[in-house]
Amino acid sequence: MLPLRLRLLGLWNTFKPQSYRPVIPSQVDHEALVSDIADALWQAPKRIRSLWSAYQGLMARKDHVGKLGQIGTTSSEEAFVLHCLLDFARPANLIEIGTYHGGSTRRILDSIEELQLDTAVFTYDIEDMVRHFRPDEAELILRDVSGRVDEEIFDRYPPGIIYLDAHPWQLLQDVARAALKREDWILAIHDCSPILCNPRMTIPKDEPRLISARTGHWERHVLADIFGVEDPLDERLDKLETESHSLRIFGSQHGLALIMPKVLVRA
Ligand SMILES: C[S@@+](CC[C@H](N)C(=O)[O-])C[C@H]1O[C@@H](n2cnc3c(N)ncnc32)[C@H](O)[C@@H]1O
């Protein structure tokens, strides 16, 4: 049970008048998405368009939307960005942080099968709530890697893709900063849309339990801090380059960010 102070803060965040109230869009501009993915991965738009049409067949066969949903989980469009990334990088492994019921893990596993890859999937959470995959398909690891991401992930697995879909401020900071120190890992982060960014967060950064769509998410705040952009709502954050990495935030329902080392994409 949360201490009284945090329970009161949670109630305040939920019910205060004119509280921050994000409305997640149900429609995505697919042409813009295709062209943004093509641009981020240095691929021809035609190739991404043809992947999208095959991907729609996969989603329909597996009933992804019906079984896994679209909002509050990795949507079809966000899963498609991960699908293109898997197709492009063909990694030895994919590390997910933030499993929940395993909806995103299911979509990732189905992409791996469809693309005939040999990618192993490890998925981290702090609680076992899995419904959508079997233990022989992906390994669930119950561990908080905050403060230990190098030992627990970057030095432990051969380079691959990390899909970060957990909201604690410290965890986001640690994973994004560690990824930017390397040029062999690709990092995707869920929930980076400006809609999910409350510029006036009212919860402490060290309190992971209260974070919800009602409070706003830390993702853009963390990225703004790391990439030296003052305002987390500044749209420069959606397409930004450093000497070694590129950051893209796709205009999907929840906003999916990709942090890619340039040497991997433009080799
Ligand atoms: C938004 S849900 C993940 C949703 C899932 N990826 C999907 O698309 O269906 C966030 C998950 O992060 C988990 N989480 C919270 N703190 C964590 C931490 N420090 N390490 C790993 N997982 C954490 C929560 O338990 C929750 O299951």
Identify the CATH number of the domain in which residue 90 sits.
Answer: 3.40.50.150
Helix (H, G, I), strand (E, B) or coil at 142: strand
Q: Report how far ligand 1's centroid is from the alpha carbon of 126 (Å).
A: 8
Nearest CA to ligand 1 atom 27: 100
How many whole angstroms from its chain centre is CA 119?
18
Range of the domain at 65: 29-265
Would you say residue 99 lies in a domain?
Answer: yes
> What pLDDT, on the 0 to 100 scale, is given for residue 11?
72
Q: Report how far ligand 1's centroid is from the alpha carbon of 127 (Å).
A: 9
Nearest to 233 by CA among 77, 14, 68, 22: 22
Q: How many Cα atoms occupy the beta-carbon half-sphere of 207 within 13 Å?
A: 15
Q: Report how far ligand 1's centroid is from the alpha carbon of 44 (Å).
A: 34
> What pLDDT, on the 0 to 100 scale, is given for residue 267?
65
> For ligand 1, what atom is nearest to the CA of residue 208?
16
> What pLDDT, on the 0 to 100 scale, is given for residue 30?
95
Would you say residue 237 lies in a domain?
Answer: yes
> What pLDDT, on the 0 to 100 scale, is given for residue 13?
66
> What pLDDT, on the 0 to 100 scale, is given for residue 210?
87
Q: What is the pTM of this model?
A: 0.94
> What pLDDT, on the 0 to 100 scale, is given for residue 213?
82
Would you say residue 16 lies in a domain?
Answer: no
Q: Report how far ligand 1's centroid is from the alpha carbon of 100 (Å).
A: 5
Would you say residue 55 lies in a domain?
Answer: yes
> What pLDDT, on the 0 to 100 scale, is given for residue 16?
66
Q: How many Cα atoms occupy the beta-carbon half-sphere of 258 within 13 Å?
A: 29
Query: Which residue numbers in the chain have pLDDT < 70?
Result: 6, 9, 13-19, 267
Domain count of the chain? Answer: 1
> What pLDDT, on the 0 to 100 scale, is given for residue 110?
98
Pocket residues: Cβ below 6 A from ligand 1:
73-74, 97-101, 103-104, 124-127, 144, 146, 165-166, 168, 171, 208
